[in-house]
Amino acid sequence: MNARETFEELTRAVQMIESTEFKKYIMKPIGEEMIKCKNAYDCKTLNELNTVKGKKIGLKIVLKLMKKIVAERENAHDDLDT
């Protein structure tokens, strides 16, 4: 895959991430789920703490991946300019 194809593919991914539907059906529920997650001090057992921690880590990974896609698109755009 050449630089132009990579840039175009990442552009489509960013457009999807920035779409109203994605924000409504993916990002909003993720945000709500993050808010619902208990804090560590609210957990009564280690098992509950592990579950909450695992859920938070998973949600943070998804958010981090979306930010990475946007950054990679910017880098690909810079590569096209050089």
Summarised one tens digit per residue, pLDDT across range 52-66 is 889 999 999 999 999
| Dihedral sign, Cα of residue 44, residue 46, residue 48, residue 49 | positive
pLDDT tens figures, 8-25 = 999 999 999 999 999 999
Name the token pair of 28: 């909003």
What torsion, rounded to 10 degrees, do the Cα atoms 22, 23, 24, 25 define?
40
